[in-house]
Amino acid sequence: MNSQSYFAEDKENWLGIKYVREKYLCERFKSLREKFVTESRKKLENLEFQNNTHFLEIVNKQNEYIEEINSQQKLKGSLNKEIKLLLVFLRNLSKQDQKLFSILIENDSFIIFHKNILEYRHCSNELKHEALWNVSIASNFKLPKEKAEILTVAVCSLTNKLLEFQKMDQIVFLEKMLYSLTNFLIDHPSLCEFLNYQTTLQKFATCLLDEHNSDHISLGLWFIRNLLKNTKQVFEESLIAYSLQNSISTILKTHFEDNSLLFEVFWTLTYISEMQANFEIIKKDLLLMILQIALNKEEFVLLPTLTILANSFVSLSDESLKDITNSQDFICLLQTTLSSSNFLVKREAIFLLSNMAAKTKESASFIIQNNNLIDLLADILKNKEPFLYKEALYVFYNLCFIEGNYYYSCLKPIIEQFFLLSSNLIEEKIYDEEVVMLLENLYKLKEN
């Protein structure tokens, strides 16, 4: 296949496809669409293609040809051309009449036609690429689960074919594969059970992060993020080898000015940081880089930064944690976020402190030795701030119970204030089961 020509065509058409999904989802639940369903089905029944032959009959006929010739070595030239014309016709139809196309893709003939081309080994790469184009467009519309599953398996069947391609051809196929699969995954999260085992595809997705093109990087991040959102048993080899994290470090260095891409990187890292691991899944150097970037950017990266740090501190070594908390950037981050008018940012900062308080005696000492932090948390409890009270209480709870109640004695005066406040928690609408559990355990500690 001619990679250069496909790149040119992709550049011309890809942007249009990226916005089809958003436009469709905006219209999908409007009553206006219902009015077009009957009309579109009538159009579909009467749709003609080449010499006034009934369209659906053509699709079914081509399916029969493909299945029959699959046992042979290759498709005949004339049939190959005819199938390509049909695929291109379908793609053009998606631009000319989106509502009609949305009805067409629900037809079993459409699904089987494209499935066969993608899966059958004797269909040319050129035909597979054309079919993949149509599947990527179809993925913008929420297909029924069983049809999405069929196309997901068919798209993934191309993974081994990628191993035969040169780099340019790999990218041409991979971008459409990941685009289709991510859309299917968003609409049907249960597909992650199948994608869990597509380890080769996962490796290709991480390789897309090493491209210079920001659109390719964004697409790779989009797939990785949505897969991690639904399952935590993926990308294990890349994470253990630290290749995924190294790729992200490179993106942060080379695309520092691209706020949109940075936002995607940071939110992808939040899902990576949530994974259970017995090693530092995000190492100190990358965390320090994230800190530096967050302080030089707008508030939009503060929330994911705090989440990344809070989650990463759980698996971080004591030495790495100490290096980060002693850094000036970390101090500045806490000052900025704890004084933020955005309660979500402020609450996430307190959650970060809670994880530090629960980790080790050494990490908890950072909070104990900082009187300003203790006073701020105590004021939140005193003022019974509804959205922050529980998180602040968790910090004190973790500090009191860390390593044999090591810090309880120095916090005892503040703890005693909890019980003066607890009697009217219900009236102040701060009451919930977790708060009661924390206060009961603290009360037992006080009495013992």
> 322 in a domain, yes or no?
no
> 140 in a domain, yes or no?
yes
> 228 in a domain, yes or no?
no
Which of 187, 221, 247 corresponds to the end of one domain?
187
Contact 146, 100 (CB under 8 A): no
> 398 in a domain, yes or no?
yes
Number of domains in the chain: 2
Q: Which residues contact 258 (CB under 8 A, 6 or more apart)?
A: 214
Q: What is d(CA 68, CA 63) in angstroms, rounded to the nearest whole number?
A: 9
> 261 in a domain, yes or no?
no
Whole-Å CA distances, 91 to 86, 173, 315: 9, 16, 48
> 75 in a domain, yes or no?
yes
Q: What is the pTM of this model?
A: 0.80
What sections of 124-258 are H helices per DSSP? Answer: 125-138, 145-156, 159-162, 167-187, 192-195, 199-207, 214-230, 236-240, 243-254
Q: Which domain holds residue 427?
A: 346-448
> 93 in a domain, yes or no?
yes
Per-position pLDDT tens, the chain of length 448: 555 445 445 544 544 444 444 444 444 444 444 554 455 555 555 555 544 455 556 666 666 655 555 555 555 556 678 788 888 888 888 888 787 788 788 888 889 889 989 998 878 899 999 999 999 999 988 899 999 999 999 999 999 999 999 888 899 999 999 999 999 999 999 999 999 999 999 999 998 998 888 889 999 999 999 999 988 888 888 888 889 999 999 999 999 889 889 999 999 999 999 988 788 899 999 999 999 999 887 778 899 999 999 999 988 888 999 999 999 999 999 999 999 888 899 999 999 999 999 888 888 889 988 888 988 988 888 887 878 888 988 998 888 888 877 777 778 777 776 666 555 444 444 467 777 787 777 777 777 7
Residue by residue, DSSP assigns 26-68 as: HHHTSHHHHHHHHHHHHHHHH-B-STT-BHHHHHHHHHHHHHH
> 67 in a domain, yes or no?
yes
Q: What is d(CA 30, CA 28) in angstroms, rounded to the nearest whole number?
A: 6
Burial of residue 96 (CB within 10 Å: 0-12, 13-18, 19+) is exposed
Contact 18, 215 (CB under 8 A): no
Which of 170, 187, 204 corresponds to the end of one domain?
187
Which of 152, 167, 187 corresponds to the end of one domain?
187
